[in-house]
Structure 1
Amino acid sequence: MSAAPDPVPVAVLGAGAIGGVVARALHAGEVPGARLVGVVHADPEDPPGLPVLGADEAIERAELVVECAGQRALAVLGPKVVARGRDLLVASVGALTDPGLWDSLDGGPGRLLLCTGAVGGLDLLRAAAAMGPLEHVHIETTKRASSLVQDWMGEDEAAELRTTEQRRELMNGPARKVASSFPKSANVAASVALAAGDWDVVSAAVVADPEAGLTSHVITARGAAGEYRFEIRNHPSELTPTTSGVVPHAVLRAVAGRTGATGVFV
């Protein structure tokens, strides 16, 4: 009987609501075929119980680097990861609205891997797009109004969102614009566009609802393969309401798919 392969060394960028859950699960040996070499983070205090590395050392020691640190960190560190020949698993998919960043991450020699995050149905969209061009794709995201406040908003608009009692649409337009305007809340719009294989065919809307106990994503699509409608309703993260609580577990599933776990969907 041949010996089992050595676990894949994994580094995690970020130790917050997503990265912290991912890193602790890896550190506890919960993902077959993977072992944590360390986390990279920018907080003043180190996360308790986790090995902390500098970015350069983490990239050098890992075979797989998992980005859970946000779009800015991805833009700074992601190109270094793939240039060093390491695989990069991206959670902040919304950053890929920038064509220049996409080109710098997709050029290798390391592989660019994308996490599905809080949304489902992407595998079927990819298959449908491969059968023939999609004619229509739309995603509507509804979140608790207070979690949708953005830095670019004026003080009056931000204050209204924090206190509003009315449901209202904040933006409706091309997926690239919506994803870049709501970087912590509309990564899913970028994920849908990348799955569809055509940014121009995908539109997106963001709806603020003060009564939204769950975050919902409704995806509709139409093309040669058929017509589709997916509705996903996630509980927000208890630590960071701008993201869904399921996201770190989607990241861990993606890590397991990369490190050799059996019985996983690919």
Structure 2
Amino acid sequence: MKVAILGCGAIGGVVARAVQNGEVAGAELIGVVHAEPADPPGLPVLDVESAIARADLVVECAGQRALAELGPSIVAAGTDLLVVSVGALADDALLAKLRDTGPGRLHLCSGAIGGLDALAATARMGGLDAVRIVTTKKAPALIQKWMDEPTAQRLRTTGEPVQLMRAPAREVTAAFPASANVAASVALAVGDWDLVEATVVADPNAPLTSHVITADGSAGSYRFEIRNHPSVDNPATSGVVPHAVLACLARLAQPTGAFA
């Protein structure tokens, strides 16, 4: 399986080098597509058109805007697409383009969280009455461009937790595009953006990034708590995310009995 990586930052760079080094059986790196002025050392670089033409699978690690701009042309050309920035799929029109038009296939990466299979099964069985996710990260990692300076300064200096937002997953995903892909993943798993309530908490003393998911429905009650070390290169994401991408790649390259 010939693989191209879209984006070469804290996630894409790790994925690209692992594939290049032969760590994913059955997968071959043909290159990376990136927007930075300097090329990443030691990695082959492609433009988007070459990546689409040559790859069997493009792995999106470049953020929501890049997915919205480039994703439709990738699947329209018949190339499969593995999405990391699932928050972009809060746009129903974009999701429809990527999922329903083809001929390339859409694959989603669970990223920093688990339990999505149980949530999907429960939603299918008899529906869910309530789903909540609370994401807690180091305060400075949650500063956004839309925040005014007093709010940003508060996050730089606060000594206690601050609840920044509590709203339906679609709204939270839009407000925190680099930090709330987890809320989008939960909403996509249960098939209802409005049912999932997402909360973002900035905590200067949080040793790890945490995601606490609770759900209640006809099948039972569920609680998942995930606590990840932040990425060394980008504290807005978890260090485990590129390895979740690599696990997805391994299943796609050689589907031999692994969990989907």
TM-score (norm 2): 0.98
In the alignment, the residues of structure 2 paired with residue 163 and residue 37 of structure 1 have an alpha-carbon distance, to the nearest angstrom, of 44
- Report the equivalent of 2:33: 40
- Report the equivalent of 2:219: 225
Residue in structure 2 matching 1:87, options 58, 66, 80: 80
- The within-5 A match list for 1:206-221 is 206-221=200-215
Unaligned runs of 5+ in 1: 1-7
Residue in structure 1 matching 2:12, options 19, 32, 41: 19
In the alignment, the residues of structure 1 paired with residue 61 and residue 228 of structure 2 have an alpha-carbon distance, to the nearest angstrom, of 19
Does residue 265 (structure 1) correspond to residue 259 (structure 2)? The answer is: yes
What amino acid is aligned across from residue 123 of structure 2 in structure 1?
A
- Report the equivalent of 2:171: 177
Equivalent pairs counted in the alignment come to 259
In the alignment, the residues of structure 2 paired with residue 100 and residue 265 of structure 1 have an alpha-carbon distance, to the nearest angstrom, of 29
CA deviation after TM superposition for structure 1 residue 97, in Å: 1.1
Residue in structure 2 matching 1:192, options 186, 197, 200: 186
Does residue 71 (structure 1) correspond to residue 64 (structure 2)? The answer is: yes
Residue aligned with 2:231, SS: coil
Residue in structure 2 matching 1:136, options 126, 130, 134: 130
Which runs of 4 or more aligned residues in structure 1 lie more than 4 Å from their structure 2 counterparts after TM superposition?
A: none
In the alignment, the residues of structure 2 paired with residue 263 and residue 249 of structure 1 have an alpha-carbon distance, to the nearest angstrom, of 19
- The within-5 A match list for 1:150-169 is 150-169=144-163
In the alignment, the residues of structure 2 paired with residue 201 and residue 94 of structure 1 have an alpha-carbon distance, to the nearest angstrom, of 16
In the alignment, the residues of structure 1 paired with residue 8 and residue 196 of structure 2 have an alpha-carbon distance, to the nearest angstrom, of 32
Residue in structure 2 matching 1:117, options 111, 115, 133: 111
Residue aligned with 2:36, SS: coil
In the alignment, the residues of structure 2 paired with residue 252 and residue 262 of structure 1 have an alpha-carbon distance, to the nearest angstrom, of 15
Residue aligned with 1:173, SS: strand
Unaligned runs of 5+ in 2: none
Q: What are the superposed Cα offsets for residues 67-125 of structure 1, whole Å, 9 maximum, x if unpaired?
A: 00111111111011100111100000111111121122112111111100001100111
- Report the equivalent of 2:95: 102
Q: Does the CA-based 8 Å contact 1:67-1:92 persist in structure 2?
A: yes
CA deviation after TM superposition for structure 1 residue 55, in Å: 0.4
In the alignment, the residues of structure 2 paired with residue 95 and residue 234 of structure 1 have an alpha-carbon distance, to the nearest angstrom, of 22
Percentage identity across paired residues of the two chains? 66
In the alignment, the residues of structure 2 paired with residue 126 and residue 87 of structure 1 have an alpha-carbon distance, to the nearest angstrom, of 23
CA deviation after TM superposition for structure 1 residue 262, in Å: 2.6
In the alignment, the residues of structure 2 paired with residue 56 and residue 190 of structure 1 have an alpha-carbon distance, to the nearest angstrom, of 29
- Report the equivalent of 1:4: none
Coordinate RMSD, CA, aligned: 0.8
Q: Does the CA-based 8 Å contact 1:33-1:261 persist in structure 2?
A: no
